[in-house]
């Protein structure tokens, strides 16, 4: 039994949810998110409460039951508060800047690395700190992971791109005899 699936998803004031044709849409004002829900999981909407339950005898439903409940919670949080990931750039000469719809990273390579900013994701760069914000948790997390993958923090000096608050285990390096 899924612990996340058992808990109902409560919609705060001003948030509307609709479920038509296998697609769950959560909307608040001009902001809306949609996600396809498979037929193996039953979705019931009663007032401002959404509940999920697996269909009888389906192994796939038991696997996806809690996942869809978590997705619905993330959609509600996204349209009400939004999500944010903060990346720190550490190293001499390492920097980033936003040019139009691209994030340009100068990471000590012979060429600048350009990352296309997805639709619905906002990127702000200030003094070695890249802030990624938006309403879709999955898109923000994937873009932040792609940016971090350009130059992961190395264990000797800690240079590279890391998440804010991420701890890098340092190695000692060579000793002089």
The structure tokens listed for 38 are 């498979």
For the stretch 127-136, pLDDT in tens is: 999 999 999 9
The CATH number of domain 83-163, selected from 3.20.20.10, 1.10.3470.10, 3.90.930.12, 3.40.50.970: 3.90.930.12
Q: How confident is the model at residue 4 (pLDDT cuts 50, 70, 90)?
A: confident
CA nearest to 150, candidates 87, 118, 107: 107
The answer to whether the Cα torsion of 55, 60, 66, 69 is positive or negative is negative
What span, in angstroms and rounded, lies between the C-alpha atoms of 117 and 1?
38
State phi, psi for 25 to the nearest 5 degrees. Answer: -120, 125
For the stretch 50-66, pLDDT in tens is: 999 888 777 888 888 88
- In the beta sheet, which residues pair with residue 95? 106
Q: Please, how many CA atoms are within 13 Å of residue 17, restricted to the half-sphere of its CB?
A: 26
What span, in angstroms and rounded, lies between the C-alpha atoms of 8 and 36?
18
Residue with tokens 């039994």: 1
From first CA to last CA, the distance across the chain in angstroms is 60
The residue extents of the domains of the chain are 3-80, 83-163
Q: Does pTM surpass 0.85?
A: yes
Class of domain 3-80: alpha beta
Q: How confident is the model at residue 1 (pLDDT cuts 50, 70, 90)?
A: low
Element (H, E) at 126: strand 121-126
Give yes or no on whether 3-80 and 83-163 have one common fold: yes
């Amino acid at each position: 039994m899924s612990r996340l699936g058992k808990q109902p998803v409560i919609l705060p004031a001003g948030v509307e949810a609709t479920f038509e044709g296998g697609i769950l849409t959560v909307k608040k004002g001009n902001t809306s998110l949609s996600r396809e829900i498979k037929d193996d999981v039953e979705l019931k909407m009663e007032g401002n409460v959404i509940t999920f339950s697996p269909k009888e005898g389906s192994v796939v439903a038991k696997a996806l039951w809690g996942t869809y409940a978590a997705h619905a919670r993330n959609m509600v949080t996204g349209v009400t508060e939004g999500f944010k990931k903060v990346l720190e750039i550490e190293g001499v000469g390492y920097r980033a800047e936003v040019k139009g719809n691209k994030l340009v990273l100068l990471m000590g390579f012979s060429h600048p690395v350009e990352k296309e900013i997805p639709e619905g994701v906002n990127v702000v760069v200030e003094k070695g700190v890249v802030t990624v914000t938006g309403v879709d948790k999955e898109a923000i997390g994937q873009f932040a992971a792609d940016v971090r993958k350009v130059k992961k923090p190395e264990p000797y000096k800690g240079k590279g791109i890391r998440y804010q608050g991420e701890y890098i285990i340092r190695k000692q390096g060579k000793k002089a005899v």
